[in-house]
Structure 1
């Protein structure tokens, strides 16, 4: 008799374990594959003093959707100003093609900075900053169903970052790229623009090859208001 009771208890225990496992599995499937609210994301890569953010906030598109805004800037001396801007997530890291640390070059008065030394950086000084794999961050943070606009002005790092994003497929997370190239300052990257612009155009994500604030001049005014996924 006692043996039957023990057997029944064991069966009940195993059944509860199986049921609990199935519930967790169902919740996981629902979370990752089920219906999900689309997010509207604007990322200012190489945010500097927030010029692109301010330009974007003046557009009709900004007023149309509930945007989540990220300002990413490697220069630690620029972070204080960015953090004064309300409703913005500030990340003090260098956009790069891998996680780790990188040597980051600043001008004496912190007016310009880059991972690469160039003729525009006067009296350069080098600091070590944290870097992260930008494409993989997009992959972990967002969904391909989200609407993501990126303004990228990272003083030469764009070549390595875009190469990695095309290689690992994370470019598919981006809906529009507004990117400023810097081969005029960095001779080692001369000729790369056409190759990358062609890839961006073929992938359907190229919005413009300049930063957002520069795209909002008289000839391009209103360009961003027409964007739809």
Structure 2
């Protein structure tokens, strides 16, 4: 069933071809993106098959060919994965924890819609700053890029005709996907390291028994997702880390606007504290963060939620837009 259709001003996707239909997974479901007559619309669906069926209908209407392989994962595999997650939470954390995470999942479509509107507003303000400045470029730093899901979302608003992109991802199995996003019209730098507060090396950790080589929940923080599973070594080798503060400091003189997306699976607290202490959070136009207090054990989660509120207050007082990424 179609959830919503959202019209986006074409200036936020100037590279969009005049006529095209795409399907992608987003927050709270699946999206069919229709570009027609210099207009772009998003149609949201709860189920992948509904989005694909709608997209096929639109392609037939527009006389476009249907791609041979649209689906990214079989429904059976996704169902099994979801059942295993539910069973694991019930077994290790009990019914109360399961209900808490279920409530979070049910609220995702609302949070998703709010985020899109917020990103669009942030991007409009940033574009005005860029056009009025002598440095007509912005920089988007995406920490925790995985296989490019966030890039595909944010680049619709922070468009490559005005922004360079730095995609940060320590999982070597994801790098081929990120390099494939490059093109003549897109300036993308891929950094195969983990964002941190210092240069060095760290263990790369994930859930036990995970066979998905591009799994998006790996972390350099041992206690990450401690309320869900005990972390284990995801790769035998260490991953290289770097100071995100030093990167921002080096880049800030080159760009009129810097935007940060931080999805680093528990490492965000130390990184954001470092940015605040150095004052570099004032140099950011907007920041989108995935916080993790809800995935921690009860007492630790409550303490971390207080830390999250303090971080948000610091950014807001500095005049930097900050939103929860997921």
TM-score by length of 2: 0.49
Work out the CA distance in 2 between the residues paired with 1:200 and 1:156: 18
Contact kept? 2:170, 2:193, Cα under 8 Å:
yes
2:221 paired residue among 108, 112, 116: 116
The secondary structure found in structure 1 opposite 2:189 is strand
Question: 2: distance between equivalents of 1:68 and 1:46?
Answer: 17
Q: What do residues 18-69 of structure 1 show as CA deviations (whole Å, max 9, x unaligned)?
A: xxxxxxxxxxxxxxxxx9634311111111111110012223x426x42101
Contact 2:201 2:241 in 1 (8 A): yes
1:140 corresponding residue in structure 2:
250
Q: 1:47 aligns with which of 145, 154, 163?
A: 145
Superposition deviation, residue 89 in structure 1: 1.0
Task: Report the 3-state secondary structure (helix = DSSP H, G, I; strand = E; otherwise coil) of the residue aligned with 1:135.
Answer: helix
C-alpha contact (below 8 Å) 1:96/1:133 kept by paired residues: yes
What is the CA distance between 1:200 and its match in structure 2?
1.2
Select 2:172's aligned residue among 47, 55, 76.
76
Higher mean displacement: 139-148 or 188-197: 139-148
Whether 2:295 is the aligned partner of 1:210: answer: no
Deviation, 1:172, is 2.3
Residue 155 of structure 2: which of 57, 81, 87 is its match? 57
Q: Which moved more, 1:167-176 or 1:129-138?
A: 167-176
Identify the residue that residue 272 of structure 2 maps to in structure 1: 162
Q: Please name the residue that 2:295 is paired with.
A: 185
Residue 178 of structure 2 aligns to a residue whose secondary structure is helix
**For the residues of structure 1 that align with 2:180 and 2:253, how far apart are their CA atoms?**
28
The C-alpha deviation readout for 1:191-210, integer Å capped at 9, x for no partner, is 21111111111111123112
Q: TM-score under structure 1 normalisation?
A: 0.68
SS at match of 2:258: strand
Which of 1 and 2 has greater Rg?
Answer: 1
The structure, 1 or 2, with the larger RCO (C-alpha pairs under 8 Å, 6+ apart) is: 1
Runs (4+) off by over 4 Å:
119-123
Distance 1:106 1:160 in 2: 19
Q: Distance in 2 between matches of 1:145 and 1:62?
A: 15
1:128 is matched with: 238
Q: For structure 2, list consecutive stretches of 5 or more residues without a partner in the other structure.
A: 1-132
| Residues 68 and 121 of structure 1, relative CA distance in 2, 3 Å threshold | farther
Contact 1:42 1:67 in 2 (8 A): yes
Q: Give the direction of change, closer, same or farther, for the CA distance of 1:56–1:46 in structure 2 (3 Å limit).
A: same
Q: Distance in 1 between matches of 2:311 and 2:254?
A: 21
Sort the Cα spacing of 1:36 and 1:98 in 2 relative to 1 into closer, same or farther, 3 A.
Answer: farther
Helix, strand or coil at the partner of 1:114 = coil
Query: Shift in Å at residue 122 of structure 1?
Result: 7.3
Could you list the per-position Cα deviations for residues 178-200 of structure 1 after superposition, in whole angstroms to 9, with x for gaps in the alignment?
11101122344342111111111
